């Protein structure tokens, strides 16, 4: 028994050093040398391309409704933080979904409120635009989600729908290698390109 204990303590320490710290430090070193940009969070001039932001102005395409935004009925989900990595605009959060079940009255009320919101913006919403994501800060929308928002952005900016749909096509990332995952548009990149159009 004592021998087992002595060996267990020794082995636990060895593991702590090698599989904890040496592994993490070596991994960080390799990551920082090979992929500095990704390893530090893919942070560009306007934020991380991997962390969704709250776009509330009709002059921009909106991400998925994970945020506080203009969605009154979403108040029940505020604890999950929305587009809220740790703190967003002074409000504390963290990653996470609403965890509302498929037959939840709260989910139904939230979804109805979102549908009404989108209709008030002149948009006929797609499923992604009325449901929240798994992380709570999904940085992407599908090309269909972007196309659906064209009437809103076109009206606010006075741009033609053809210019906007061309922009969306340019910004669409296909499924990786043609089949892994789904095709998507990064909302931050789309809006940066949109801002350049004027």
Pairing state between β 47-48 and 91-92: unpaired
Write the CB contacts of 114 (distance below 8 Å, at least 6 apart in sequence). 65, 71, 73, 74, 125, 129, 130
Q: How far is the CB of 189 from other proteins (least distance, A)?
A: 12
Confirm or reject binding of residue 120 to other proteins (CB under 8 A): no
CB-nearer residue toward other proteins: 68 or 154: 68
The verdict on 196 binding other proteins (CB under 8 A) reads no
Q: How far apart are CA 95 and CA 87, in angstroms?
A: 10
What is residue 86's three-state secondary structure?
coil
Minimum distance from CB of 135 to other proteins (Å)? Answer: 4
Contacts to other proteins from residues 6-45, by CB under 8 A: 6-12, 14-16, 19-21, 23-28, 30-32, 34-35, 38-43
CA 44-56-111 angle, to 5 degrees, is 115
101 lines the binding site for other proteins (CB under 8 A): yes
Question: Among residues 40 and 161, whose Cβ is nearest to other proteins?
Answer: 40
Spatial neighbors of 4 by CB under 8 A, at least 6 apart, are none
CB of 81 to other proteins, least distance (A): 9
* Site track 157-186 with other proteins (rule: CB under 8 A), x = hit: ------------------xxxxxxxx-x--
Cα distances (angstroms) measured from residue 90 to each of 30, 68, 84, 85, 93: 34, 12, 10, 11, 10
Please tell me the count of residues contacting other proteins according to CB under 8 A. Answer: 104
Q: Are 58 and 121 in contact (CB under 8 A)?
A: yes
Q: With contacts defined by CB under 8 A, name the span among 48-56, 150-158, 161-169 that binds other proteins.
A: 48-56
Question: For other proteins, which is the closer residue by CB, 156 or 162?
Answer: 156
72 is an interface residue for other proteins by CB under 8 A = no
- DSSP tag of 174: P
């Amino acid at each position: 028994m004592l021998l087992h204990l002595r060996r267990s303590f020794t082995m636990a320490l060895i593991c702590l050093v090698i599989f904890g710290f040496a592994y993490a430090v070596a991994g960080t070193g390799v990551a920082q040398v090979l992929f500095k940009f990704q390893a530090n969070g893919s942070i560009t001039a306007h934020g991380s391309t991997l962390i969704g932001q709250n776009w509330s102005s009709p002059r921009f395409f909106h991400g998925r409704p994970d945020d506080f935004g203009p969605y009154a009925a979403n108040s029940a989900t505020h604890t999950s933080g929305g587009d809220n990595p740790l703190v967003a605009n002074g409000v504390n959060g963290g990653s996470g979904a609403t965890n509302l079940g498929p037959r939840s009255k709260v989910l139904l009320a939230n979804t109805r409120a979102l549908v009404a919101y989108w209709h008030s913006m002149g948009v006929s919403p797609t499923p992604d635009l009325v449901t929240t994501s798994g992380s709570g800060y999904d940085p992407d929308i599908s090309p269909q989600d972007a196309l659906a928002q064209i009437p809103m952005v076109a009206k606010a900016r006075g741009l033609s729908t053809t210019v906007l749909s061309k922009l969306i096509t340019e910004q669409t990332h296909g499924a990786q290698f043609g089949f892994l995952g789904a095709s998507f548009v990064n909302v931050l990149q789309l809006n940066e390109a949109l801002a350049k159009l004027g």
